[in-house]
Amino acid sequence: MGFIKTVKEEINLIKERDPAIHSNMEVFLYPSFKAMMYYRIAHKQYVKGHYFLARLISQKAVRKTGIEIHPGATIGKGFFIDHGTGVVIGETAEIGDNVTLYQGVTLGGTGKEHGKRHPTVGNNVMISTGAKVLGSFKIGDNSKIGAGSVVLEEVPPGSTVVGVPGRVVKSANEALPQDNLDHVHLPDPVREDIRNLQMANSELINRVLELERRFKEENRTDKEVE
């Protein structure tokens, strides 16, 4: 019953998060579904100390789905991978509940150090396409990581992070609704910086023009006096 319950939960989760799924049967073709089924089996073997068997199962999943989840990773409930090609999750990664990853996301380490070397992802976190989260630190609850971002340090709860390297551009710490999977309309700090520079440049130009006007008027007045 445990396995059947897990399958039903995965089916319901994928149908809820992906509007492209129209029937239960389609879910069985979904890469995320296959990857998670293999992961659940491999993780049980890993916990029992059957490391080779666990890796054998997980590598089979990689070949079939393009999603690499190390059997040692810890994943909570409501975990969803949209499409998933190129997703990599390291051995000591810890993922909370209701987390969404898009294709090309990496939860990796920064070297060959031992012990905890992969990220801890809190609850209700969304990590967008191509984002790389590298190192042993936490992504706080209710956070969003923008597409293509490279995150190298801890992210406070409720933050929106974009850029390379990633930086916090918004902080709210409000729970993300599970039907809001918008990972496109995020703040753009580079555009904001350019806009601020343009405004400052316009102000400087206007100031210079005003000073030139005054200088010409003063010179004209001096000539008239002579």
Under the banding of pLDDT at 50, 70 and 90, the label for residue 99 is very high
Per-domain residue ranges for the chain?
A: 2-187, 188-226
DSSP 176: P
Find, among 177, 156, 170, the residue nearest to 98 by Cα: 177
- C-alpha–C-alpha distance, residues 107 and 116, integer Å: 12
Range 2-187 classified under CATH 1.20.58.760? no
The single residue listed with the structure tokens 């809820």 is 16
pTM to 2 decimal places: 0.73
- C-alpha–C-alpha distance, residues 97 and 189, integer Å: 29
For residue range 107-117, list pLDDT tens digits in order: 998 877 778 99
For residue range 158-187, list pLDDT tens digits in order: 999 988 888 888 777 555 555 555 555 566
Q: What pLDDT, on the 0 to 100 scale, is given for residue 215? A: 80
173's CB contacts (< 8 A; 6+ apart) are 140, 141, 142, 156, 157, 158, 159
pLDDT at 223 exceeding the cut of 80: no
pLDDT at 191 exceeding the cut of 80: no
Between 48 and 211, the higher pLDDT residue? 48
For residue range 103-158, list pLDDT tens digits in order: 999 999 887 777 899 999 999 999 999 999 999 999 999 999 998 899 999 999 99
- C-alpha–C-alpha distance, residues 173 and 159, integer Å: 7
